[in-house]
A and B are shown apart, each in its own frame.
Chain A
Amino acid sequence: MEFRGILDRLRAIGAPGLLGHDEPRGADPADKKDKGRAGDPFVLVDPQRLPAFLEVCRDDERLAFDILIDLTAADPSKDDPNLWVLVHLLSLAYRQRLTVKCALSKAAATMPTSVTVHRGAQWHERECGEMFGITFAGHPDPRHILLPEDWLGFPLRKDYVFPDEYHGISCK
């Protein structure tokens, strides 16, 4: 199924939390500043209902997104009030992918964990937690994974300031 087919199916079954979608497009000739958008289409989902959405995607027989390939986040810009949380799903039966994007407020970066749906999300969420400062409510093991437990700040946020020193070791 192409992206449109997946989207129609998601709408038909009333997938929880589905907010909208975005597709790549060419530049708008009327607007000189607009250069269009390249790359992949994605669906926008409410972060608070992401686990329910993933569950529907996994269990629906015509979607069958049974593998969570990746769960990550992105900080689009310093001025943006939101972070993106991204989930890349893969369906083995139908050989299709789906990118799910959630906009999560930087000020209150808390969302429910998806570990209940895909156990593979556990380490990805730990990484998102330490790198972006997202709290996954209900996560069974919310420790740091790549960084030391006492690391301050969230390195992949755009407003991150590099530390001068760490335990007496100069970082300059």
Chain B
Amino acid sequence: MSQSTTLPTAAAGTGEREFMLDVRTQDMEVNMGPQHPATHGVMRILIRADGEICTGAQPHLGYLHRCAEKIGENVEWLQYLPYTDRYDYLAAMNNNLGYSMAVEKLMGIEIPRRALMIRTICAELNRIGSHLVAFGTYGLDLGAITPFLYMFREREWMMALFEKICGARLTYSYIRIGGVFNDAPPGWLSEVERFCDTFEEKWQEYVDLLMVNHIFVQRTANIGVIPKAMALDFGLTGPMLRGSGVDWDLRRDMPYELYAEIWKSGCFQIPLGKGERGTLGDCWDRAYVRVMEMIESIKIVRWCLDSIAPGPVIAEIPKTLRVPAGEAYVGIENPRGELGHYVVSDGGKVAVRCRVRGPSFTNLAVLEELLPGALIADSIAIIGSTDIVVGETDR
């Protein structure tokens, strides 16, 4: 028996739009994934749907679980570094940095200034590369294929730069405990500068192509709104938090390494979601924060290029590390949010506990709240806007 029904939309879903359903359908459970292009990896979301509207969502993780934390308790401190590359494989430099900083905090070693500069350059370039993938694939999810190809063009250059400095394109293990593996090869820094010049031009293309594109705005504005209180309650960090208008960035608010100095120089800003095209905290705002962050990262890289001076790039550390007994937590601003490493040492060669707090994991938890009430087509836009890397949620 058909019956006309108006579904009130959930606050999280779709703003003021209402959907008219001429047929009241049965609840149906649909598997999205594990092999689905929009899940950005191997993840399954069990969606309960009434017609076109999600009434419930249950993410199932673990398909990429590789026991990183258990491995951390079984290999030596230095040997664990390559495993850090493999959780958020789009931002491996940042992962290396987070782990190295946690161990360095326990050891209390001082890092040479040139090493800090190169670390910052690499971490920020990697942030740009990571946001390029996030933004490019987001367009792809919503049906815009061309921007994706443009963004991979610039990312290719970024990866070539990393290949020149450390030999690897994706899993670098370049930032080491005590500094960086080796000095930048001759001409590398000037090539980074050329990259910055080119990127600034190209970046404008992305904004014109996608950010203000009418279809893109229609698909993302007012969709998947995360109010500020909900963002705090779920412990969201990074662009997910800033997209909701919360002014928080670890690089400015709890600065590590050189960021206090860089922030003081006034060269970069923290972009925030403003609800420019729709409601504050919608998918468009999150995409906007990522796009703007790329250009801020370029400014940080330029600051480093201007102030870098010759010197040693790694502190003297023994081949077999014995880390003083104790426990330390270090959180850094990864492209996806706060990457935390909590390490416990008993003074030996191997960690007692090596905890990784991946930002994707916590950011993903909000889906259970966001999807109910949204259209199935919008669920792709919502999942894409969380910018998860499944390697990190599953570790």
Count how many pairs of residues, one from A and one from B, have CB atoms less than 8 Å apart in the complex: 116
Chain A: minimal CB distance from B384 (Å): 20
Other-chain contact of B235, A67, A74, A144 (Cβ < 8 Å): A67
- Across the interface, do B344 and A146 meet the contact criterion of CB distance under 8 Å? no
| B residues 308-363 touching A (CB-CB < 8 Å) | 323-329, 331, 338, 340, 342, 344-347, 352-353, 355, 357, 361-362
B357, closest chain A residue (CB)? A70
Residues of A within 8 A of B352 (CB): 74, 76-77
Residues of B within 8 A of A156 (CB): 69-70, 73, 353
Tell me the bound Cα distance from A155 to B66 in angstroms. 12
Kindly supply a per-residue 1/0 record for chain A positions 66-79, scoring 1 wherever the CB is within 8 Å of any chain B CB and 0 otherwise: 11111010111100
Residues of B within 8 A of A37 (CB): 324-326
Residues of A within 8 A of B254 (CB): 95, 97
Chain B: minimal CB distance from A148 (Å): 7
Tell me the bound Cα distance from A70 to B71 in angstroms. 20
Chain A: minimal CB distance from B36 (Å): 19
Residues of B within 8 A of A75 (CB): 353
Tell me the bound Cα distance from A94 to B129 in angstroms. 32
Residues of B within 8 A of A147 (CB): 62, 65
Is A43's CB within 8 Å of the partner chain B?
A: no
Residues of B within 8 A of A74 (CB): 344, 352-353, 355
Is A3's CB within 8 Å of the partner chain B?
A: no
B323, closest chain A residue (CB)? A38
Kindly supply a per-residue 1/0 record for chain A positions 120-135, scoring 1 wherever the CB is within 8 Å of any chain B CB and 0 otherwise: 1111100000010000
Other-chain contact of A120, B73, B233, B342, B355 (Cβ < 8 Å): B233
Is B44's CB within 8 Å of the partner chain A?
A: no
Residues of A within 8 A of B362 (CB): 120, 123-124
- Across the interface, do B338 and A69 meet the contact criterion of CB distance under 8 Å? yes
Chain B: minimal CB distance from A54 (Å): 12
- Across the interface, do B347 and A72 meet the contact criterion of CB distance under 8 Å? no
Chain B: minimal CB distance from A55 (Å): 13
- Across the interface, do A40 and B235 meet the contact criterion of CB distance under 8 Å? no
Residues of A within 8 A of B331 (CB): 69, 88, 90, 97
- Across the interface, do A95 and B353 meet the contact criterion of CB distance under 8 Å? no
Chain A: minimal CB distance from B368 (Å): 8
Tell me the bound Cα distance from A88 to B339 in angstroms. 12
Chain B: minimal CB distance from A34 (Å): 10
Interface centre among B67, B235, B323, B344 (most CB of A within 10 A): B235
- Interface size of A as a range: 35 or more
Kindly supply a per-residue 1/0 record for chain A positions 98-136, scoring 1 wherever the CB is within 8 Å of any chain B CB and 0 otherwise: 010000000000000000001111111000000100000
- Across the interface, do B62 and A39 meet the contact criterion of CB distance under 8 Å? no
Chain B: minimal CB distance from A116 (Å): 11
- Across the interface, do B344 and A92 meet the contact criterion of CB distance under 8 Å? no
User: Of the 9-residue stretches B20-28, B103-111, B116-124, B152-160, which lies at the interface with chain A?
Assistant: B103-111
Chain B: minimal CB distance from A130 (Å): 9
Tell me the bound Cα distance from A90 to B331 in angstroms. 10
Is A35's CB within 8 Å of the partner chain B?
A: yes
Q: A38-B325, A39-B327, A122-B365 are in contact. Are A72 and B232 (CB under 8 A)?
A: no
- Across the interface, do B340 and A69 meet the contact criterion of CB distance under 8 Å? yes
Q: A38-B106, A76-B352, A95-B254 are in contact. Are A69 and B326 (CB under 8 A)?
A: no
Q: A95-B254, A123-B361, A123-B362 are in contact. Are A70 and B342 (CB under 8 A)?
A: yes
Is A7's CB within 8 Å of the partner chain B?
A: no
Is B217's CB within 8 Å of the partner chain A?
A: no
Residues of A within 8 A of B355 (CB): 70, 72, 74, 86
Is A6's CB within 8 Å of the partner chain B?
A: no
Is A145's CB within 8 Å of the partner chain B?
A: yes
Other-chain contact of A39, B236, B328, B346, B395 (Cβ < 8 Å): B328
Chain A: minimal CB distance from B62 (Å): 4
- Across the interface, do A68 and B235 meet the contact criterion of CB distance under 8 Å? yes
Q: A38-B106, A86-B342, A148-B62 are in contact. Are A120 and B326 (CB under 8 A)?
A: no
Is B89's CB within 8 Å of the partner chain A?
A: no
Is A24's CB within 8 Å of the partner chain B?
A: yes
- Please name 11 further chain A to chain B contacts, defined as beta carbons within 8 Å, in addition to the given A95-B254, A118-B235, A155-B70, sorted by A numbering: A35-B347, A36-B326, A38-B345, A42-B327, A67-B232, A67-B237, A90-B338, A119-B365, A120-B233, A148-B62, A156-B69
Q: Could you jot down 17 A-B contacts, CB within 8 Å? A: A36-B326, A38-B105, A38-B107, A38-B325, A68-B235, A69-B235, A70-B329, A72-B355, A74-B353, A88-B340, A90-B331, A92-B232, A119-B369, A120-B236, A123-B362, A156-B70, A156-B73
